[in-house]
Amino acid sequence: MKKFSLVLTSVLLLFVLAKTGFSQTSVVPVDEDTKLITYKEVVAQEGDVPKLYNTAIAWVNANYENPTEVTRVRDVEDGKLEIRHRFKIYNTDKNGVKSDAYIINYTLKLEFKPGKYRYIFTDFSIAAISKYPLERWLNKKDPQYTPACEDYLAQINATVNDLIKSLKKGMVPKVIKKDDW
């Protein structure tokens, strides 16, 4: 009887672990309407459209090596910026050694209204001869899916979240100290 209860407890424990710890769901947000990997948020920020736009341009200039090449749309009147850029993701072997895996393309749209701005990161794809949308990595039944896709998606999530943190920090107006001597 003790063996039976021990086996039953072990099986139940494995079942719970499989349901919670070992089953992975996508770490990236997927838009319900477009079904595309999409990071978006409306952020309240003091300022009118031209001020927010100029602050965003300063952030782009500070964060992208060639800001005029990556910005596809610069429209201060309509309060819009569109950036197309890329970043690398890596394979990591069992010894922790990293090697290049893919270059990921993405689009960042920034839109401005008085007192707020919105960012939208979307159109993620692999830089290749033909377009390979990353949403294929979400489908475990896709022939191109491998367990490494989960790690790739986690790297993408970390990179985009770092960009979002940088953007939010860069959009905060600089405090100008007056030198009243």
For residue 120, give the nearest of 105, 109, 133, 106 by alpha carbon.
109
Write the DSSP symbol of residue 176: P
Do the Cβ atoms of 103 and 88 come closer than 8 Å? yes
Six-digit token pair at 49?
């459209």
Residue 163 CA, chain-centre distance (Å), reads 7
Categorize the per-residue pLDDT at 177 as very low, low, confident or very high, splitting at 50, 70 and 90: confident
Q: What pTM was computed for the model?
A: 0.80
Mean per-residue pLDDT of the chain: 85
On the question of pLDDT at 17 being above 80, the answer is no
Over the stretch 130-165, which tens digit does the pLDDT of each residue have?
888 899 999 999 888 888 999 999 999 999 999 999
Categorize the per-residue pLDDT at 22 as very low, low, confident or very high, splitting at 50, 70 and 90: very low
Helix, strand and coil percent figures for the chain, each rounded to 5: 40, 30, 30
Cβ-based neighbour number of residue 173 at 10 Å: 11
Residue 61 CB contacts under 8 Å (≥ 6 apart), including other chains? 67
Domains contained in the chain, CATH given? 26-171 (3.30.530.80)
Least confident among 4-13, 97-106, 146-155: 4-13
Categorize the per-residue pLDDT at 74 as very low, low, confident or very high, splitting at 50, 70 and 90: very high
Which pLDDT does position 129 carry in this prediction?
82
